[in-house]
A = this chain, B = another copy of it.
Amino acid sequence: MIKNAAGRMVPETINGIQQIPYMGIGKFKPKGNKTASAIPSNSNFPDNGNKLVNSLKEALIKAGLKDGMTISTHHHFRNGDLVANQVFDIAHELGIKNLRWFPSASFPCHAHLIPYLEDGTIYSIEGSLNGPLGKFTSEGGMKGTGMLRSHGGRYQAIQDGEVKIDIAVIGAPTADAFGNANGLYGPSACGLLGFALADSQYADKVIVVTDNLVPFPCIPWQIQGNYVDYTVVVDKLGDPEKIVSGTTVVTKSPDRLLLAELTARFCDAAGIIKDGFSFQAGAGGTALSVALYFKSIMKEKGIKARFARGGSNKYLVEMLNEGLIDYILDGQTFDLDGVQSMAENPRHTWTSPFTSYNYHSKGNFADMVDVVILGATEVDTNFNANVVSHSDGYLLHGIGGWQNCLFSKTVIIPLPLFRDRIPVVRDEVTTLCGPGELIDVIVTERGIAINPLRKDLIEKTKDSGLPIKTITELKEEAEKICGKPSKPVFDDRIIAGIKWVDGTLIDVVRQLKK
């Protein structure tokens, strides 16, 4: 075990692969060249561009599925995904063992895979472990060790050759027989397919699976058929109602509305909401409300934003259509309004983890966002934050684009001072996902703490009338009400690693003591 630059003890290897301990922000300098797949030749592909095979099983067999391989899927179908489960049903049926599943994220619907983790079909999962898979892993159920990466970190890991994908299976709401594909149309429409971009570019074999085959050309092509080996038509990729919400609902909770209002007022006081600014708010109830407060401030001031980053939803689309935002740069659509807008409005532009988040690039879009509103399960008095585990030690969430968004110019985390009577401001976060030096403001219902590094924000908001406090004051206030929280009790066994955006290891998660 080695102590990394954040003071966390991390192992030298995970699943037999050498790890680089986190070295600080921007300190690790990558060496060497990007990875690249084998040079293919048109002469090995059908003249007429028709790559259809009869079934997913046939495609997996043709792609050479065998023990120990790494199989990737994307999570644009969210909790409605039926693709990953089908892939491992087939692997199980074929008696394949020790697979590494490399999803861009996993969801509760993938609890279906727990028997395959138990019987050795799947050895490990590298990707978020939301809900049941996280609980199962925290209790020691997974044979291998998990590895959690941000969306950008996943692109980086594939690009840099850290993770070699043997077979990428890309569920595509619309595709042609050549493999051009998009997420915009069809019964399983999910908006876009950016999370599968790196998989298409770098995997050894690429299978596109669709339930909506169209004649060539499938336009637009979010996935390019030139990267695709086989195409397959299946009955159903996902449960539409679980892929995108019919409508997104803003929180009615007075507590969350207060958090949102304080956040928006803080941004206004700090001079962030000005003509041509840019912002990113997530899809959670609080974040949605922040966007609505932004909207009313913008209308009042008669200004507009140059761009907003999505996840998109009805409210962001309304702002775009009302001319309050020039562009939505979108990574995933959270409701039907988002999908429709992306299909129809060229100002609602699809992005990818490459353009938006890849840290091993010549810059990325996250750098250019003026303010981002993020969530967290815990923060600590050094402004470090946790998004993957709860204070009871259970690993229950993925990182998503969260780490990548920390590079925005101002990072604000609104969160309730305690949840279920457990304070969220701690002496030390259970799992370190984001270094405090990148987190600028913590907004709670009982006060706002500004990172002392951001003297500019402290200065700008000192006469705002907002309840500015120190982070220690917030912690003490919570503990006065709820008492000092206890720490979870862990075994020694590491059940998951947490990567930083540059591929170094920032922390690990341990198995819970029975």
Please list the residues of chain A having a beta carbon within 8 angstroms of any beta carbon in chain B: 25-43, 45-49, 51, 159-160, 178-179, 206, 215-217, 219-221, 224-229, 276, 306-307, 327, 329, 346-347, 349, 354-355, 358-365, 367-368, 407, 409, 502
Q: Are A354 and B224 in contact (CB under 8 A)?
A: yes
A307: nearest chain-B partner, CB-CB: B217
Q: Are B355 and A216 in contact (CB under 8 A)?
A: no
Q: Are B349 and A217 in contact (CB under 8 A)?
A: yes
Q: A219-B327, A219-B349, A306-B215 are in contact. Are A362 and B33 (CB under 8 A)?
A: no
A-B contacts, 22 of them at CB < 8 A, read A26-B42, A30-B39, A30-B40, A33-B35, A33-B37, A33-B38, A33-B39, A34-B38, A34-B39, A39-B159, A39-B360, A40-B362, A41-B360, A42-B362, A45-B363, A48-B409, A49-B365, A51-B362, A217-B306, A217-B365, A226-B355, A228-B362
Cα distance A493–B161 in the bound complex, in angstroms = 45
* Contacting residues, chain B, for A40 (C-beta < 8 A): 30, 360-362
Q: Are A364 and B226 in contact (CB under 8 A)?
A: yes
Q: A217-B329, A327-B219 are in contact. Are A41 and B49 (CB under 8 A)?
A: no
Q: Indicate the member of A51, A228, A368 with the most B CB atoms within 10 Å.
A: A368
Q: Are A368 and B30 in contact (CB under 8 A)?
A: no
Q: Indicate the member of A27, A217, A227, A364 with the most B CB atoms within 10 Å.
A: A217
A40 to chain B, nearest CB (A): 5
A30: nearest chain-B partner, CB-CB: B39
A159: nearest chain-B partner, CB-CB: B39
Q: Are B39 and A226 in contact (CB under 8 A)?
A: no
Q: Are B368 and A216 in contact (CB under 8 A)?
A: yes
The 10 closest A-B pairs by CB, nearest first: A26-B43, A34-B36, A45-B363, A30-B39, A36-B36, A49-B368, A226-B361, A33-B36, A42-B359, A40-B362
Cα distance A400–B206 in the bound complex, in angstroms = 30
Q: Are A49 and B226 in contact (CB under 8 A)?
A: no
Cα distance A219–B329 in the bound complex, in angstroms = 10
A26: nearest chain-B partner, CB-CB: B43
Q: A226-B358, A368-B49 are in contact. Are A220 and B346 (CB under 8 A)?
A: yes
Q: Are A363 and B39 in contact (CB under 8 A)?
A: no
A35: nearest chain-B partner, CB-CB: B36
Q: Are A42 and B361 in contact (CB under 8 A)?
A: yes
Cα distance A182–B454 in the bound complex, in angstroms = 37
Q: Are A363 and B49 in contact (CB under 8 A)?
A: yes
